[in-house]
Amino acid sequence: MNSDAAFTYNGGKVAPGERQNLRYGISETYLGDPVRIPVTIVNGERDGPTVFLSAAAHGDELNGIEVVREVAFEWNLADLAGTIVCLPVLNVQGFLTQQRYLPIYDRDLNRSFPGDPTSTSAKRMAHAIFENFIAPCDLGIDFHTSTRGRTNMLHVRADTSKDDVSRLAYAFGASVVVDGAGSDGTLRGEATRAGVPTVTVEMGEAHRFERRLIDDALDGVESVFAEYGLQPGPVRWPGWRTVVTEKTWIRADAGGIVDMHHDRGSLVREGERICTITDPFKAQGVPVEAPFTGVLIGLLENPVVYPGNPICHLAELDAERARIVDRRQADR
């Protein structure tokens, strides 16, 4: 988008050099009251791309909310070259009830894009968001956390087979990029298919702010802004990077209480014990071992499991990157 033009949406516009905070109606409640999402649009005076930053498509995922708010209200955007569209809370009803899905038949907003104005309530909401604030953009970052009871190291999910998406993923500067197009209906997948390169940033756990991860994500946004010329600054290099194509959720083969031996982001070698599952009497436990050498991008936080419950998300590393990660962790 050229910043000589206003950013327009159904019902309004934001001229170059202007900022607008609005609550945009996307649906109605059972009482007929409007359901409105908060939106901040900052249109710079100088030419540049239009970027959306979105969070809380799942209502209990809070870390990204603070990232988007801080960009919108704490950064100096006076010399912004381009436009940013800040969408801190996409799933307002889920946010108000602090649950993952829309409290309307438990529908997943992040499986409802690009939406449909004549379909389900979730798809109608998704359509209003997508048409007004996603489709007009040139690129986007969608922030998520793990679900309740689990946690993720900060990493990017992106379809790296597409050059424009790969550029965006690398610009964010995370060490781990999980490759894949994403499930049907996800914001990043559908935006990318519509010509708006988009990545997902996964960071931490639900129901809380985690300051270290928020700051790391803000550094990533700064790096993206530098890469695309919205603001001056360096494009960061994380020290090591791997594009993950092989990953697996390791699941419990026994019920019990999990004694985790590693933190999120840790390197584990093939055959190394990740955790032990014990019973209430601390009897001899059931070891859970790494099937290959990799980094723990996701971990169980709630330490109780039934057989079949996921324990950790392991992403494979080659020998060279495993040595780098091992060396960096030893230096801490």
Distances (CA, A) of 16 to 5, 38, 79, 84, 269: 7, 20, 11, 12, 53
- Mean pLDDT of all residues in 210-236: 98
- Mean pLDDT of all residues in 247-265: 94
Q: At what angle do helices 63-74 and 211-227 cross, to 10 degrees?
A: 50
Residue 3: partners with Cβ closer than 8 Å, 6 or more residues away: 16, 43, 44, 45, 46, 47, 48, 81, 82, 83
H helices present in 151-259, as ranges = 163-172, 187-193, 211-227
Radius of gyration from C-alpha coordinates of the chain: 21
- Mean pLDDT of all residues in 208-216: 97
Identify the pLDDT of residue 1: 47
- Mean pLDDT of all residues in 84-108: 95
Over residues 9-59, the pLDDT tens digits come to 999 999 999 999 999 999 999 999 999 999 999 999 999 999 999 999 999
Task: pLDDT band for 282, please (50, 70, 90 cuts).
Answer: confident
Q: What is the pTM of this model?
A: 0.95
Over residues 145-201, the pLDDT tens digits come to 999 899 999 999 999 999 999 999 999 999 999 999 989 999 999 999 999 999 999
- Mean pLDDT of all residues in 1-6: 63
Identify the pLDDT of residue 4: 59
pLDDT at 102 over 70: yes
- Mean pLDDT of all residues in 117-125: 96
Strands (E), the chain: 7-9, 12-14, 19-28, 34-43, 46-55, 81-87, 139-144, 150-158, 176-179, 198-204, 242-244, 247-251, 256-260, 267-268, 273-278, 286-289, 294-300, 304-305, 310-316
Identify the pLDDT of residue 223: 98
The b-or-e profile of 219-254 (16+ CB within 10 A means b, else e) is bbbbbbbbbbebbeeeebebebbbebeebeebebee
CA–CA separation, 226 and 106 (whole Å): 39
pLDDT at 3 over 80: no
pLDDT at 284 over 80: no
CA–CA separation, 2 and 18 (whole Å): 14
Percentage of the chain with pLDDT > 90?
89
- Three-state secondary-structure class, residue 305: strand
Over residues 67-90, the pLDDT tens digits come to 999 999 999 999 999 999 999 999
CA–CA separation, 78 and 230 (whole Å): 11
- Rounded mean pLDDT of the chain? 95
Over residues 296-326, the pLDDT tens digits come to 999 999 999 999 999 999 999 999 888 988 8
Backbone angles phi, psi at 130, to 5 degrees: -65, -50
List of domains in the chain: 7-228 (3.40.630.10), 246-331 (2.40.50.100)
Q: Which residues pair with 118 in a beta bridge?
A: none
CA–CA separation, 172 and 221 (whole Å): 6
Percentage of the chain with pLDDT > 70?
98
The answer to whether the CB of 26 falls within 8 A of the CB of 115 is: no
Residue 101: Cβ within 10 Å count? 21
